[in-house]
Amino acid sequence: MGVGSVLGDLLPLALGVAVSPVPVIAVILMLFGPKAGSTSFGFLGGWVAGIVLAVTAFALIAGTAGMGTSAEPSAMASWFKLLLGVLLLYLAWQQWRSRDEPVLPKWMSAIDTMTLGKGAGLGFLLSAVNPKNLAMCAAAGTIIGAGGLSGGQNVLTVAIFTVLAALTVAVPVIGYAVAQDKMRGPLDRLKGWLEANNATVMAMLLLFLGVVLLGKGFGGLV
């Protein structure tokens, strides 16, 4: 596989991480808090670090396990994609069941009191430990590790994936720092919409990505 092919497989997963509603809502709440600047930039740093760590770890695991030793995806890589696809479909089903009861995590009520360090820790946990994002980062890392790329190409693909996946958190943080007054209204409206549609958005997103991974897994086995 070439870099272009690997990036094509990564784009849906990067989109999936980018449009996850909870981290976007969290960073908007931070921007409306008393320590908007430091906390939001800490969250962004933790979010990016978590994505890089998770994707890199699974890329190394895939490469070490021999998933990328040939031009075609190995059976092990295909089975792993199938497993991740099933996991994402299960998470989609869970999200869909909760769509009529849009309840945000309780920790969001404490965001106003967060410091830079706590913001960074929260960003890291949401990107590298949260099951939904971890599954997508695991799939991305597996695709990179099984792509048979050189070391430099692996670094490039991880960097591109991270930039795309972090855009929806980075844009509000940087935009608010540059034009605070102009950003407050649009961010407040976006927060309200995401709060009301969090479960539905995630269910549709996870369903789409689960089907994509199942298709790639089956395609590599037949």
CB atoms within 10 A of CB 60: 14
Closest Cα to residue 92, out of 181, 17, 203?
203
Closest Cα to residue 145, out of 69, 53, 222?
69
Residue by residue, DSSP assigns 100-154 as: TS----GGGGGGGG--HHHHHHHHHHHHHTSHHHHHHHHHHHHHHHTTT--HHHH
**So what's the pLDDT on residue 101?**
65
Q: How far apart (Å, rounded) are the C-alpha atoms in residues 144 and 152?
A: 12
pLDDT tens-place values along the chain, 222 residues long: 678 888 888 888 898 888 888 888 888 888 887 777 788 899 999 999 999 999 999 999 888 876 655 555 567 777 777 888 888 888 888 878 776 665 666 777 677 778 888 889 999 998 988 888 888 898 899 889 888 788 889 999 999 999 999 999 999 888 888 877 777 788 778 777 777 776 777 788 788 878 877 887 777 676
Q: How far apart (Å, rounded) are the C-alpha atoms in residues 222 and 219?
A: 6
Closest Cα to residue 172, out of 160, 184, 162, 161?
184
Closest Cα to residue 141, out of 8, 13, 3?
13
Is residue 81 a contact partner of residue 220, using CB atoms and an 8 Å limit?
Answer: yes
State the number of CA atoms in the 13 A half-sphere of 71 facing the CB. 0
**So what's the pLDDT on residue 102?**
58
Sorted by sequence, the CB contacts under 8 Å of residue 67 that are 6+ apart come out as 73, 74, 76, 77, 80, 142, 145, 146
**So what's the pLDDT on residue 48?**
96
